[in-house]
Amino acid sequence: MERIVKAFFNSAAGLAHAVRYELAVRQEVIVLLVAVPASFLVTESWWKRLALIGVILLVLMVELLNTAIEALSDHVTPDRHPHIRIVKDLGSSAVFTALTLAGLTWLLALAERLV
């Protein structure tokens, strides 16, 4: 149980750091805070609400991983390096893919609601 408690506090510290210092993470947390109540307006289905909130959480998860990759890359070499650039671009592509999934999910749910 002690390990689980320590893991929770480490995770909370990481999230707090990301919210404090990363604009993209702050923006995604705000979107999440808006998405939770909005999901209740978009659909009456609990599964669809879970999907709508889940894709926003997925974006946040991928953004946190991308932030970790960028921080580690900057630590390894603060200078510009072509291989590090590729690593950062791949992380950014992962975020873009998650954002695309989230956008399509919300658009489909909204279209279904309006039709």
63 catalytic residue (yes or no): yes
The catalytically annotated residue of 2, 28, 44, 63 is 63
Contacts of 98 (CB under 8 A, 6+ apart): 55, 58, 59, 61, 62, 63
Closest C-alpha among 6, 32, 4 to residue 18: 32
Per-position b or e across 64-103, b if 16+ CB within 10 A of its CB = bebbebbeebeeeeeeeeeebeeebeebeeebeebbeebe
Residues 62, 94 contacting (CB under 8 angstroms): yes
Q: Which residues are catalytic?
A: 63
